[in-house]
Structure 1
Amino acid sequence: MNGYQKGDVAIKIEGRNYRLRLTLGSLAEIEERLDVKGPLALAEKIRSFGAKNRSNSEALTLLECLMCVAGHKGDVSVPHMVRRAKPMDYMPAIATLFEETFS
């Protein structure tokens, strides 16, 4: 994966490799798109992704924000196969990204 930096987390979705990176910009975009204010509200939102009343779209939004640095920004450039992915395919990698960044 070209452009790999310390803290990046590799993820494979439907046989293709992607890179996730948590930046201040991606955090700001996550807060805006998920309508949360601050890390505690974000943590609560992420914990709720497994609840039956939550749609997969919020988890996908989180993935899209973290993929922006890898050259996949927003709905326009994120490959269709990524948008079809199920949260169980990518949430472990996102959890690893947050754990490694904040520990």
Structure 2
Amino acid sequence: MAICLGVGAVWYICVYFQLNRIDVAALSPANLFSKTANIKLMMISGEVFFIVCLVIFFTLLSQSFWSYNQTGFWAMVATILFAIVYGIVYMWPQYVKLFRDLNSIKA
């Protein structure tokens, strides 16, 4: 897990430096859209990497909980389900709105 977090941290640092190099005032709208699309692709690939690492981590953790502490296992399952429902109901519409605002180029 520490290796995955380290790789993710380096990835997000690279994305931050690329985002920091974008000069919004000097770029044409098409060029700005191309650069932001590239950064969005990098962010999505970083998030997919984190999701894969979390799936591996929780697979190993759930096996351990099931063997040694079944109450802890069910508490973990309930917490994960709550987090998924909360993310879909509350957070997802906010992310969709932010991406739409980012993609709308107003002259």
Tell me whether the two structures share a fold, i.e. TM-score over 0.5.
Answer: no
Report which structure shows greater RCO (CA 8 Å, sep ≥6): 1
TM-score by length of 1: 0.28
Bigger proportion of residues as helix: 2
Bigger proportion of residues as strand: 1
Larger Rg: 2
TM-score by length of 2: 0.28
